[in-house]
């Protein structure tokens, strides 16, 4: 039975990878719907027509995402060269500190930073050479937004549609599994967005107080990285420390490291348990395995979708265990 389930899952993953241009917008639309559904429900309760409410919700998210995207892009563009130069100096200082100046270690560091600098410095030419990729991404984004509109508008009929697709005897179980999976994704998206915003605000404030160059750009990286649990925080925090080390010295770099660690500790011990207390909480090891699997299957898109997909899977397993566990057995937990 386990082998059969594993085979079906493997075939499903391969089909999704083969149909990535169509599957990715659907998955992104589901994530967007999970995040925006509370706003749509509020508008519907305020006696707004469902279609109008869905349109207003999409327009609001388009304005917010567009404005935030513009602000993040401007912050990164304005500070990208400064961040790259700071990272270059930080790596060279580390190489000198460990006696690696002029050796292969420094050469590799220079090559890596040269590649990073070319990536940031040739953005304009990259737009021309990568216009096909940009158009494809734009098309998927537009399709995802349209799907969000339809998912929101017809969310009240989702349960009946799902029940009509399965045998009558298992309709209740399938509906309960789908609801629990969606609740897991919904909680993950809401909680991650709140935590990402708080992390970015506090870390950016700390960087500004310590007068670290490129603070706004680094804060934007922190916000984006928060959607990739653990790995995103590690990468963004490392970048902030290296920039501080290069431009402000070891003492300020240690202060930045302290700020990053304090914010991450508050996130892990207070913010996430408080914000996501009603959702499926996963062990860090499970998240890291999910991120690795997502990256191997679908690259950066797989990394972004791995954790919410795992949250949905845990929700389904939790529902099944709740329904079919022997009486008297305590409900299962997804994490410590």
Q: Is the pLDDT of residue 308 over 50?
A: yes
> Is 70 exceeded by the pLDDT of residue 335?
no
DSSP secondary structure code for residue 186 in this structure: H
Which residue in 214, 178, 201 sits closest to 74, CA to CA? 214
Label residue 159 exposed, middle or buried (CB < 10 Å: 0-12, 13-18, 19+). Answer: middle
Mean pLDDT of 332-336: 47
3-class DSSP assignment, residue 282: coil
> What is each CA distance from 282 to 23, 150, 303, in whole angstroms?
25, 31, 16
Confidence at residue 334, expressed as pLDDT on a 0 to 100 scale: 46
Q: Are 35 and 152 in contact (CB under 8 A)?
A: no
Mean pLDDT of 10-28: 76
What are the structure tokens assigned to 316, written together? 């389904």
CB atoms within 10 A of CB 177: 20
Q: What pLDDT is attached to residue 112?
A: 54
pLDDT, the chain, mean: 74
* 35-70 confidence digits (pLDDT tens): 888 888 888 888 888 889 888 988 887 887 676 666
Cα–Cα distance, 116 to 126 (Å, whole number): 13
Alpha helices in 210-271 (DSSP H): 215-225, 231-266
**What pTM value is reported for the model?**
0.64
Q: How confident is the model at residue 280 (pLDDT cuts 50, 70, 90)?
A: low
Q: What is the pLDDT of residue 23?
A: 79
């Amino acid at each position: 039975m386990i082998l059969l389930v594993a085979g079906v899952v493997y075939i499903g993953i391969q089909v999704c990878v083969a149909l990535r241009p169509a599957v990715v917008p659907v998955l992104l639309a589901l994530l967007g719907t999970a995040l925006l559904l509370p706003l749509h429900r509020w508008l519907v309760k305020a006696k707004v027509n469902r279609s109008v409410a869905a349109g207003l919700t999409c327009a609001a998210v388009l304005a917010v995402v567009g404005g935030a995207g513009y602000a993040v892009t401007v912050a990164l563009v304005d500070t990208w060269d400064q961040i790259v130069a700071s990272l270059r100096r930080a790596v060279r200082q580390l190489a000198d500190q460990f006696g690696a100046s002029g050796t292969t270690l420094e050469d590799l560091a220079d090559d890596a930073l040269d590649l990073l600098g070319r990536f940031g410095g040739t953005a304009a030419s990259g737009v021309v050479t990568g216009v096909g990729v940009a158009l494809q991404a734009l098309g998927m984004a537009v399709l995802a937004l349209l799907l969000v509109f339809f998912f929101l508008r017809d969310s009240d009929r989702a349960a009946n549609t799902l029940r009509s697709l399965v045998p009558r005897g298992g309709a209740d179980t399938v509906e309960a599994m789908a609801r629990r999976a969606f609740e897991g994704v919904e909680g993950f998206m809401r909680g991650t967005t709140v935590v990402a915003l708080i992390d970015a605000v506090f870390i950016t404030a700390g960087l500004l107080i310590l007068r670290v160059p490129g603070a706004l750009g680094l804060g934007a990286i922190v916000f984006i990285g928060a959607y990739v649990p653990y790995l995103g925080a590690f990468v963004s925090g490392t970048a902030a420390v290296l920039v501080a080390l290069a431009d402000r010295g070891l003492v300020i770099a240690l202060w930045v490291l302290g700020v990053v660690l304090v914010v991450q500790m508050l996130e892990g011990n207070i913010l996430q348990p408080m914000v996501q207390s009603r959702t499926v909480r996963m062990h860090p090891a499970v998240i890291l395995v999910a991120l690795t699997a997502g990256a191997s299957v679908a690259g950066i898109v797989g990394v972004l979708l791995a954790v919410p997909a795992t949250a949905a899977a845990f929700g389904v397993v939790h529902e099944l265990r709740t329904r079919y566990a022997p009486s008297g057995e305590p409900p299962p937990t997804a994490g410590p």
